[in-house]
Amino acid sequence: MANIGKWNAPTAVATVLTTELNTLGNNTMTAASAAIANQTNLDIYADFVVHLAALSPAAGAFVSVYILEALDNSTYPAPSDADLRLMTSSLLFTMQCGTTATTAYDLVVRNVLLPPHSFKLKLDNQTGVSLNASGNTLSISQYNVNENG
């Protein structure tokens, strides 16, 4: 009988951006997160949660997360925010926000492919408003597939 692939247990959820998101203006990016070292675990996938404290986004609101990958596990690209927005290969994902007034949001994206190197993340606020002064986070949980069932 053939083996059945199954998910391995995910890593604990880790918050990678917190205070960087506080009062982040519209059309503004955070500073880069601390490095996330993936060259040892070699996790293939990650789930992400963007928690935005109460806000009233404008129509068409979204947030994007960009990845800065260090191919040598130590040297990260440092493009300007404007240039990073043009680098589609660095766009990890975009999530739309609803426009319900003064509501907190948990935006979840699943099965995002990760590189086998160290990387940093940046969040781009395109909600049409500044983010709340506190309570905003970007979190990650990484995992693999066990092909031996």
DSSP assignment of the chain equals -----EEPPPPPPEEEESGGGTTPPTTEEPPPPPPB--TTT---EEEEEEEEEEE-PPTT-EEEEEEEEETTSS------HHHHHH-GGGEEEEEE----TTEEEEEEEEEEE--SSEEEEEEEEESSSPPPSS--EEEEEEE-EETT-
Which CATH number belongs to the domain containing residue 87 in this structure?
Answer: 2.60.120
Please indicate, yes or no, if residue 98 is contained in any of the structural domains.
yes
φ, ψ (nearest 5 deg) of residue 11: -70, 160
- pLDDT digits 0-9 by tens, 79-99: 999 999 999 999 999 999 887
When pLDDT is cut at 50, 70 and 90, the band that residue 3 belongs to is confident
Mean residue pLDDT across the chain: 93
Please indicate, yes or no, if residue 1 is contained in any of the structural domains.
no
Please indicate, yes or no, if residue 96 is contained in any of the structural domains.
yes
Please indicate, yes or no, if residue 12 is contained in any of the structural domains.
yes
Please indicate, yes or no, if residue 60 is contained in any of the structural domains.
yes
Residue 133: give the domain boundaries: 6-146
φ, ψ (nearest 5 deg) of residue 106: -120, 105
User: Taking the model in full, what pTM does it have?
Assistant: 0.93
pLDDT exceeding 70 applies to what percent of the chain? Answer: 97
Question: Which amino acid does the sequence have at 132?
Answer: N
Contact 116, 72 (CB under 8 A): no
The total of structural domains in the chain comes to 1
When pLDDT is cut at 50, 70 and 90, the band that residue 149 belongs to is low
